[in-house]
Structure 1
């Protein structure tokens, strides 16, 4: 279900981004991206790390309705208070900071995300693994927003309308979360609550989530303050493309935290280590494929998604694509630390990386502009990977011992060469052909080579398909 959700997150932008980029151009898309990035900082403060802490703490008590209800009610009350305080601070910022007050309408529209994000209890549905509901709900709201976008976004001046539709697409479905919550949780004013019991364990999650969230948006926010809306417009296309590729690569990993937390308390530790190993192998082979596609087909990707006005995004995209494998490993190692109750270590790593990200961006953006932001993205992910490798070296040693990195690297290298050769033969063709030929050449050769070398994940899928086909025939 999460792979289906991820696929929708990949398909819908393929429809909306080319349309919006051509209508709003670099200025309009840049203005909206900057506003969304600033709002995301305030949303992180409002959530207080509950988006991650809530998943773990609810997953542990999900089989006990009374304990689950009590936990959800306590967390909801904390969120209500924190969101109110943060929203007041946000309004003060809108009317006092020049970069925000110059377009109050846009920033006020975007502010709805603060409430929709914090009150949407998405963490609860992840904790009880309601991925079918999450997927269908998200796809439905994306379809509605797609129709609204084509109807109402018609000119460059409609960027505020686009911002409103984006808020609806990303957070509107959270209203349904609240309405459906009573199916799983019993709210009661008579229940004795103990909100304070969450403060200490939340502390690390709060620091971790806020620092990590700020780190992920640091390049866009700093580029917005040091550069122009058009520069942000070029870079947001790079960031969106990289994030789309990362979502596909990380589609399996995203659903791992509740299951890892559940297995960690199981006396049979083998299930935990096996799940971690499977995820490590999948992330390695899928991220290498994503890097190859983004590097080989960077120009046609930019032309398809943004048009000729966005050709300045080609080189930054190639640089940012390299960060895919580091991002994937960072997510995996972070999940292991969180599931193991070592979130304090990860929160320290996140704080260190936020400081490093600010330094990279402040130094590189004035010199290299949009390319500097892409360079900082890759350098930050690489730095975080290095730090996490040191923190989790025992786990990493076990993963490397069982992994099949040699087979994956060999298959990736050969398929890159095949993709590059095929790219040479279609040079000068249309953007679609320039994208499809090297991508398919790389993908097919990569899959066959992984199968021929006996790579665990691909061989397992192939064997499963064969068994089903033979079973149906039998």
Structure 2
């Protein structure tokens, strides 16, 4: 389609947010359908084995990507108005990925075949190994950079429906954890194929002689360093729990961690949509649009983060029963301890990627997350030995808070009139307190129903009460999301 190569029509924030929210909701609903089934059929040991293998391969995905999934969004957002420039950027980054993926596979197979703990699970590690190629060449960063949220959502819906069907058809007993891993890989392959085929609409071929690969190396390495640190303390907990406490502990920790991470996606959903828009405004010198975008994102983090934290604390037992099952009830304490990172990570995402990143302060961001990763590793080592998977929760909380504090010290100066946010935060706290009070009064009466019905009623009631309070408070964040072009 030649026309689509000439010009990219950027959708409104409202449209992009709706599509991104739909994906986020599906990312919440699908695990609620799939995870309870797989966790019961595979058990903590089977599920833990797959998660352990995934945590290892994720490190290789991280290193071979070289920061491009984040760096690429910024560069494509900058060059999206020019076919030649965006095509040139696309091919330059693709060549870098090709080189790193080849090197990554050499290292991966050496480690898998030579390290005893991995060699003992060789079949599982061979099944998950395509993840490296499929993740690095999915080109998700390109579609985010051009703000093609509609396509991303359409593809995502198809893949998730297929996932549900395949899991229920193919996973029948504990030994099927190999199938579970293979299904995930196969679906990633389908998704990547769709992306590669479609991308021809937006880029044209650029001869290698016209490319300048070298100038991407330094900025992508700075971003890569920060992403390494973030992913280390995102995945290090699972890896260390697996090595120190075993597969069952990984399964229990995963049950709590997955729920909280899904909620984090809701809290950061608008920020993800706003990153390319904010970057584009910054490049063009539209500081008014830039500041409005920042304030909208920050308010949204508090708008969803505060009630989400409260909701997890109140409904933790019901969430674990529905999401994982009775055999995972030991994870209730973990999910309650983890709940504050919903707000902490949301704020860190804002400070790091929307403030420091767009103001070319990648070095500060890298330092903050590197220190946080070191803190996480130290706390995990001592706390997991003492408290198993709950020790990893403490390490994660301390690390995330450390990173946020460092980023905020530098990033707050880029937020003019920050005192104006104080009243908005107060409104969200009051609305969440009212919601909590209503739920505490109603929850005993919903206990007579099934766990699923009880959780659904409590969540629905909490959402209604909270947003009624916001309407009464005349909250402007919701109005801005649906009015801003």
Q: TM-score, normalised by structure 1?
A: 0.94
CA pair 462-200 structure 1, distance change in 2 beyond 3 A: closer
Unaligned 5+ residue runs, structure 2? 1-18
1:303 to 311, 314, 321: 321
Tell me whether 1:383 sits opposite 2:392 in the alignment: no
Q: Distance in 2 between matches of 1:182 and 1:247?
A: 29
The alpha-carbon deviation at position 439 of structure 1 amounts to: 2.2
Tell me whether 1:361 sits opposite 2:380 in the alignment: yes
1:31-430, aligned counterparts within 5 Å?
A: 31-189=49-207, 191-335=209-353, 336-396=355-415, 398-403=417-422, 404-427=424-447, 429-430=449-450
Q: Is the 8 A contact 1:234 1:370 kept in 2?
A: yes
Greater Cα offset, 11-20 or 373-382:
373-382
The alpha-carbon deviation at position 389 of structure 1 amounts to: 1.3
Greater Cα offset, 141-150 or 455-464:
455-464
The alpha-carbon deviation at position 153 of structure 1 amounts to: 0.9
Q: Is the 8 A contact 1:59 1:258 kept in 2?
A: yes
Q: 1:39-88: per-residue Cα shift (whole Å, max 9, x none)?
A: 11110000000001111111111111111111111110110000110111
The alpha-carbon deviation at position 438 of structure 1 amounts to: 2.9
CA pair 428-383 structure 1, distance change in 2 beyond 3 A: farther
Q: 1:362-382: per-residue Cα shift (whole Å, max 9, x none)?
A: 121111112112222222222
The alpha-carbon deviation at position 211 of structure 1 amounts to: 1.5
1:15 to 24, 33, 40: 33
The alpha-carbon deviation at position 159 of structure 1 amounts to: 0.3
Q: 1:408-440: per-residue Cα shift (whole Å, max 9, x none)?
A: 111112221222222233346421233133323
Q: 1:294-326: per-residue Cα shift (whole Å, max 9, x none)?
A: 111111111112111111111101111111000
Q: Is the 8 A contact 2:296 2:481 kept in 1?
A: no
The alignment partner of 2:210 has SS state of: coil
Unaligned 5+ residue runs, structure 1? 465-474
Q: Distance in 2 between matches of 1:146 and 1:419?
A: 32
The alpha-carbon deviation at position 171 of structure 1 amounts to: 4.9
Greater Cα offset, 123-132 or 182-191:
182-191
Q: Distance in 1 between matches of 2:361 and 2:410?
A: 10
Q: Is the 8 A contact 1:316 1:375 kept in 2?
A: no
CA pair 462-347 structure 1, distance change in 2 beyond 3 A: closer
RMSD of aligned residue pairs (Cα, Å): 1.8
Q: TM-score, normalised by structure 2?
A: 0.92
CA pair 68-3 structure 1, distance change in 2 beyond 3 A: same
Q: Distance in 2 between matches of 1:320 and 1:396?
A: 28
Residue aligning to 1:472: none
Q: Is the 8 A contact 1:280 1:399 kept in 2?
A: no
Q: Distance in 2 between matches of 1:397 and 1:34?
A: 44
CA pair 428-364 structure 1, distance change in 2 beyond 3 A: farther
Q: Distance in 1 between matches of 2:452 and 2:167?
A: 24
Q: Is the 8 A contact 1:319 1:374 kept in 2?
A: yes
Q: Distance in 2 between matches of 1:462 and 1:402?
A: 20
Q: Distance in 1 between matches of 2:284 and 2:96?
A: 30
Q: Distance in 1 between matches of 2:303 and 2:93?
A: 38
The alignment partner of 1:341 has SS state of: coil
CA pair 463-148 structure 1, distance change in 2 beyond 3 A: closer
Q: Distance in 1 between matches of 2:440 and 2:400?
A: 26
Q: Is the 8 A contact 1:277 1:399 kept in 2?
A: no
